[in-house]
Amino acid sequence: MAAEETKTKGAVGSEREVVAESQPAKVVSPRKIEANRQNAQRSTGPKTPEGKAKSGRNSITHGIFAKHFLNQAEPETVAEIETLAVGIQEHYQPVGMVEEILVQKIVVETARYGRILDVEQQELARANAFFSSAVDRVGRYAISTSRALLRAIEEIERIQAARKTREAAASAADGQPSAPEDGAADGVGT
């Protein structure tokens, strides 16, 4: 019984390890090793600053999952996202670090969703687009990003509602009238 557990967990001394040890190491001929060394001498990577910059972006295909969202973005894109950030910041007016983080998440997910829609348009413009797995993949990205955006919006609205309730209760306990609700002070909605 103990031997069976060891086999299934892949622990030291397991069947997989014993099999790996019993197989002889693959022998590579000296001729092949020398050919690999000579090939490595020829491929030294990009030499010009332009080539280095281009090769630095090799892994970026669409920017949907970029870790640093505005790195190497076009100035127009940066301006659009900054305008978006200002608008969302003004709308939610975050108080405290948690609300600030959620506003940043909303900005990033909104911009990411825009990138996904751009990629989706490019994929759908291709001939025989629906025979490619790319359309399905982009659809999954869109759904995932949309859900993350919705969760962040729901969370910030929940936190802000709880904060406003606490503030109203505190001001009522102090005997001060509570602040008017959105639009009530300027006669909107009456």
Mean pLDDT on 87-114: 92
Mean pLDDT on 114-120: 86
Mean pLDDT on 24-51: 82
d(CA 84, CA 78): 10
Mean pLDDT on 91-112: 92
190 pLDDT band (50/70/90 cuts)? very low
23 pLDDT band (50/70/90 cuts)? low
* Mean per-residue pLDDT over the chain, rounded: 76
103 pLDDT band (50/70/90 cuts)? very high
Rounded to 5 degrees, what are φ and ψ at 177?
A: -70, 145
Distances (CA, A) of 135 to 117, 132, 145, 157, 188: 11, 6, 15, 33, 45
For the four alpha carbons of 15, 18, 22 and 28, in that order, the dihedral sign comes to positive
pLDDT in tens, 129-188: 777 777 788 888 899 999 999 999 999 999 999 999 999 998 888 876 655 555 444 444
pLDDT, residue 76, reads: 81
Task: Give me the torsion for CA of 127, 130, 135, 137, rounded to 10°.
Answer: -130
Mean pLDDT on 85-110: 92
pLDDT, residue 14, reads: 45
pTM above 0.95, yes or no: no
Q: Where are the domains positioned within the chain? A: 74-171
Of the listed ranges 66-70, 74-78, 148-152, 186-190, the least confidently predicted one is 186-190
pLDDT, residue 143, reads: 92
CA 114 to chain centre: 13
Percent of the chain with pLDDT over 90: 27
CA 77 to chain centre: 17
70 pLDDT band (50/70/90 cuts)? low
